[in-house]
Structure 1
């Protein structure tokens, strides 16, 4: 074997060693990250269980709280608030308004009044979308409002992007009737028409 072949063989060996080391290092880093996330989740669950136990909370109530905690985590996984994403928050104003329009206009257009407003005065509709609207993710069983509370606005009901279903997403009792609300509908419209209106 001449010197050129030796240099080539050594170079290939070194490159292979470096590549393999990098691969192993990246796997180790990922495993460490996963372990850290798992430990953080386990610590939070442990803290919650310890709190409930040390304060004499009943088994039934503990089960309800732990069930809420589980569904709450699922809501956080499936719903991301655009206000929590740094890039979105720091977009140039015009680009941010366009993103917000695409985020909110499809739901606003389902309401006849807002649909007409978008057609007649899009600038005003953009102002509403950018200053008067906010998102809120609910977990299963969470109350959106309580009867008798002062209403601060109306609500548009929508699916998460991952959930495609025509089943009712929420329901509420109006007098003796149970009213089901599906994606694309809205509730508490009177709150934007009447001052001091309360949920009923």
Structure 2
């Protein structure tokens, strides 16, 4: 169980990610106000969770929680069946559906390339997903538990989310390579980024090849 899952158990709900996560992975929770309990007591229980870096009490019963290793959250991502409400054409960046499907296809391709290039599947080290591009993808993925806990929403609720995840992943794919380049040898960082790609592939709708 990841720190985020343990925190959610303590709070009775998934906290909401806050900020860009470029420097720290932070969440906000109003669970103390919702439960009608002292924020200090709930904060103490959250601080005791392994993997929590800090808990700050905010006005109106809010808690701001930071975790030590945000990359661990990819282990909680499972395949989804998100709607794909966009037309097939045009297959250009002007069509949000193309951007989403292309991100899925890129993530699927990364896993094929990784196998061909000898990137190990085992030995995932979530702490290595610490670069700004990796963290940007993690920040969007961190919204999933809260979104999945809400009552059923229409296609537009998930469409905007899928576009943001796709945008973050395209940046990561191009600027934080998940597979070795040139004579570079496979490394634990590649393994970690391939695992991140798998999470993106699991969430975004689309074909494995475009």
TM-score w.r.t. length of structure 1: 0.22
The TM-score with structure 2 as length reference comes to: 0.21
| Structure whose alpha-carbon radius of gyration is higher | 1
